[in-house]
Chains A and B, each alone.
Chain A
Amino acid sequence: MNDREKPVGQQKPMETPAAHGKKSDVKPAKLGREVQARLGQQLRAMYDDVLNQGVPDRFADLIKRLDVNGNKDKQ
C-alpha cells in the first residue's frame, strides 16, 4: 500500500555541499539541536502563514451547500 515514491523533484538536484565531502565531520543521521530547531522554526513559519489565512470563503460555502444537499430535513 505505501510503496516508496520517487522524490517529487525529479529536476536537477540542489547542490548538496556535504555530498562533495566538504569537510563533513557531521554525521548524516545526527543533527545538532540548533539545526533541528532552526529547521523546525522555518517549517512552522511556512505552515503558520497558511494557518493564519483562516478558512477561505470557498470552504465555508461548500460546507453550507453540503448541509443543504445532504441534510434536507434541516434545510
Chain B
Amino acid sequence: MAMDDTVRNSILAAVPSLRAFAISLCGNVDRADDLVQETMLRAIANIDSFQPGTNMSAWLFTILRNHFRSEYRKRRREVEDSDGHYADSLKSQPEQHGHIEFAEFRKALGFLPADQREALILVGASGFSYEEAANICGCAVGTIKSRVNRARTRLAEMLNVNGADDFGPDEQTRAVMAGGGE
C-alpha cells in the first residue's frame, strides 16, 4: 500500500487521540510526543502490513502501545516525574474542571498498574470497544474487562469516592436534575 493521501490523512487525523493516549499512559507530554512520532515512523515503515479497510486508529494505537511497553521495560526506573510537565501543558485551559481534583485524578491514574491503566483509557476515554481494546493489548476480552474493573475500583479507593456521599454538590445537583423538574 503506497503512502497516499488517504493514508497520510488518516495517520494525521489519529494524532490527537494518539497523543491523548500517550500522555495518559506516561504522564509526560514530551515523552508522549516522542512516542507518537515513533509510532508514526513505524506505521509508515510498516504500512504494507496495514490491512486497508480495517481500523487505522486501532492499528496505530497498537503500535504505540507496544512501543510504550518495550520502552517502559527499558526505563522502568526513570518513569513518573509527570507532575511538572503535564500540569504545564494544561495551564492554557485550567478552569473548566476543578483543577485540584483533576491533578489528583492524574496522580491516581499514574499509580495504577500499567495494564490496568491502558485498559481503562482505551475503553473509558479512547472509545474503543472491549474487543478492540483486547486486540490492541493482545489479550482476551475478559482480561480487559477485569482490568478495567480493577482500575476503576483502585481509582475510587485512591480518590476516596467509594460512596455517593463523597460527591458533594455536583452529585446532588445531578440527583435533583434527574429526579425533579418537568
**Which chain A residue has the least Cβ–Cβ distance from B93?**
A49
Size bracket of the A interface: 35 or more
**Across the interface, do A47 and B15 meet the contact criterion of CB distance under 8 Å?**
no
Cα distance A16–B139 when bound, in Å? 29
The answer to whether A58 and B161 have CB atoms under 8 Å apart is no
Q: Which of A32-75 contact B (CB under 8 A)?
A: 32, 34-36, 38-40, 42-56, 58-60, 62-63, 66-67, 70-71
- Number of A-B residue pairs with CB-CB distance less than 8 Å in the complex they form: 156
Q: How far is the CB of B35 from chain A (nearest CB, A)?
A: 12
Q: When chains A and B are docked, how far (Å) is the Cα of A17 from the Cα of B162? A: 10
Complex alpha-carbon distance, A43 and B118, angstroms: 12
Interface size of B by Cβ–Cβ distance < 8 Å?
A: 69
Q: How far is the CA of A49 from the CA of B91 in the complex (A)?
A: 11
CA distance A2 to B119 in the complex (A): 13
- Cross-chain contact B111 with A26 (CB below 8 angstroms): no
Q: Are A43 and B124 in contact (CB under 8 A)?
A: yes
21 sample A-B contacts, Cβ–Cβ < 8 Å, listed by A number: A5-B72, A7-B114, A8-B80, A8-B114, A9-B111, A14-B108, A17-B162, A38-B161, A39-B156, A39-B161, A43-B120, A46-B105, A47-B24, A50-B20, A50-B23, A53-B19, A56-B15, A63-B8, A63-B11, A67-B8, A70-B44
Residues of A within 8 A of B (CB): 1-2, 4-9, 11, 13-19, 24, 26, 28-29, 31-32, 34-36, 38-40, 42-56, 58-60, 62-63, 66-67, 70-71
